[in-house]
A and B are shown apart, each in its own frame.
Chain A
Amino acid sequence: MLARPIALLIAILPAFACAQEATALVTVPALTPVTVRLEELISSNKNRPGDRFRITVAEDVRVGDALVIPAGSPGEGEVIHAAKSGAGGKAGELILAARYVRVGDIEVRLRSFALGVVGKDQAAKSLAASMIIGPFAMFVKGGVITVPPATLGKAKTALEFNLPAIVPSTPAPAEQSVE
């Protein structure tokens, strides 16, 4: 007798849960700009090729009105080249790449990293004189090259991705006291 209601309940409950998860997918084109922030100090004298470092997304990425990659999304970069400064005035060298940022379970691959092109924060400004900007991030200067945390850079999405549009959680309305 109870079999039918139970079966219907089993059928309906996951459907509700599923409907909540099934947010609309938004196509993020390849080469969409992503501003990223370094979360660690990188140095030409301490880091080695292959070292990984933490990055986060510095600004929301939107496609139209849809928020697809929220600021703060974590990711990872890699040291491509690091050479110590040497005798005879040999400059230190550093080439960095942004690998990916994570949105939920999805790794959004990045490419064409250029560090220091944003220059919104003081750390980046102070480095401006010593930076050389190209399609990859690089710092060449006589002596040790040090990239401080919070330095901003630009990358691009490497591929076309389908990401769920993120609905920002609306804060609960503040209680109004009526006197």
Chain B
Amino acid sequence: MYRKLINAGIAALVLTPCVTLSNDNATSPAPAADAATGATGTVVFFREKKMMGAAISYKVRENGVELCKLGSGSFCTVQVPVGKHAYVTKTEATDVLNMEVDPGETYYVQASISMGVVAGHSNLAPSTREVFDGMKAKLKDNTGKDLDPPKDKK
């Protein structure tokens, strides 16, 4: 009887490391590398210098917070937390650009204005570094300028 129990115990001991190893295989991700690469990304908003709509400036907002004021021929560089974002501009019509920011990456967003009845329709569209670099020399850096502080919600 005791011998049976001893043998069963040996069997259990042999099996235990196997089960543990299987569990190790199942847990995939090692500690996050996000922290190592930085918890923010960069978004560059820019608007080409053009005659059409030159008199109209508008702001890029997220959740009511002003991030950038874009006149004709200007740009802003904004550091944002990683994750999903929804950037909003509003003139005659409202435009929303959804983005997802990965750590350490830089994203380019081109603002423009198209014909409207009164003030034109603002638009935000994904763009590239090449497009931005091509016109950067003619753009004014408006980062952090002409922005209203966030309003306190009561």
Contacts and interface: CB of A to CB of B under 8 A. Distances in A.
Chains A and B bind each other: yes
Interface of A: 3-4, 7-8, 10-12, 14-15, 17-18, 21-22, 25, 27, 30-31, 49, 80-81, 83, 88-91, 93, 95, 97, 105-109, 111-112, 132-136, 138, 140, 158-164
A112 B33 CA distance: 14
A66 B34 CA distance: 25
8 contacts: A3-B7, A7-B7, A14-B14, A80-B98, A140-B125, A161-B30, A162-B28, A163-B28
A165 B108 CA distance: 38
Contacts of B31: 160
A106 B99 contact: no
B46 to A, nearest CB: 13
Contacts of A138: 126
A138 to B, nearest CB: 4
B10 interface: yes
Contacts of A107: 28
A14 B123 CA distance: 63
Interface in B29-56: 29-34, 36-37
A177 to B, nearest CB: 43
A158 B33 contact: yes
A132 B127 contact: yes
Nearest to A49: B98
Contacts of A132: 126-128, 131
B15 A11 contact: yes
B89 to A, nearest CB: 13
A178 B31 CA distance: 57
A83 B126 CA distance: 11
B154 interface: no
Given A25-B25, A109-B29, A132-B127, A81 B98 contact: yes
B22 A90 contact: no
Interface in B41-99: 84, 97-99
A140 B124 CA distance: 11
Nearest to A28: B30
Contacts of B14: 11-12, 14-15
B4 interface: yes
A108 B30 CA distance: 11
A162 B127 CA distance: 35
B8 interface: yes
A158 B84 CA distance: 16
A11 B11 contact: yes
Given A4-B3, A15-B18, A134 B126 contact: yes
Contacts of B102: 111-112, 135-136, 158
Contacts of B125: 91, 93, 140
Given A95-B99, A132-B127, A7 B11 contact: yes
B145 interface: no
A110 to B, nearest CB: 10
Contact of A159 (B11, B24, B34, B126): B34
Given A15-B14, A161-B29, A135 B106 contact: yes
A59 B36 CA distance: 27
